[in-house]
Amino acid sequence: MTPEVLMELAREAMGRAYAPYSKFQVGAALLGESGRVYVGCNVENAAYGPTCCAERTAFFSAVAQGERRFQALAVLGGMGGVVSRPAAPCGVCRQVMAEFCPPDFPIYMGGPDGQIEKHTLSE
């Protein structure tokens, strides 16, 4: 599974974001050790606090389906689903990742024009 294919799956998930309040749509695709991919999108709520980011949606879905070890994450987001710059996972999502992933865990961030930045969790 290439970063490009993983990013494409994240982009499809971004299209399913429920973000009527911020309009900022985010998609994530998490590659499990098994080779299975778990996607997530942000799901907002009128009360704000219950909102769940795309990355956590993907991680929680994976854990619920029995996978706890992962190879890589792809994430991208933008206003109305238009990606203008790479979006870094928020602090809460990084904390969730730190529970399951090593410091060198690769995080691919999607930018405009299909660009992909590679980062690590420790960064």
Closest CA to 87 of 59, 114, 108, 61: 108
CB of 59 to ligand THU, least distance (A): 12
Contact flag: residue 86 with ligand THU (CB under 6 A): no
Among 55, 59, 62, 73, indicate the residue that binds ligand THU (CB under 6 A): 55
Return all residues near 122 (Cβ < 8 A) that are at least 6 apart: 103, 104
Give the nearer residue to ligand THU in terms of CB position, either 89 or 110. Answer: 89
Among 1, 3, 51, 116, indicate the residue that binds ligand THU (CB under 6 A): 51
Contact flag: residue 42 with ligand THU (CB under 6 A): yes
Which one of the spans 4-12, 20-28, 64-72, 105-113 is the region binding ligand THU (CB under 6 A)? Answer: 20-28
Contact flag: residue 58 with ligand THU (CB under 6 A): no
Distances (CA, A) of 39 to 23, 43, 106, 122: 19, 13, 16, 22
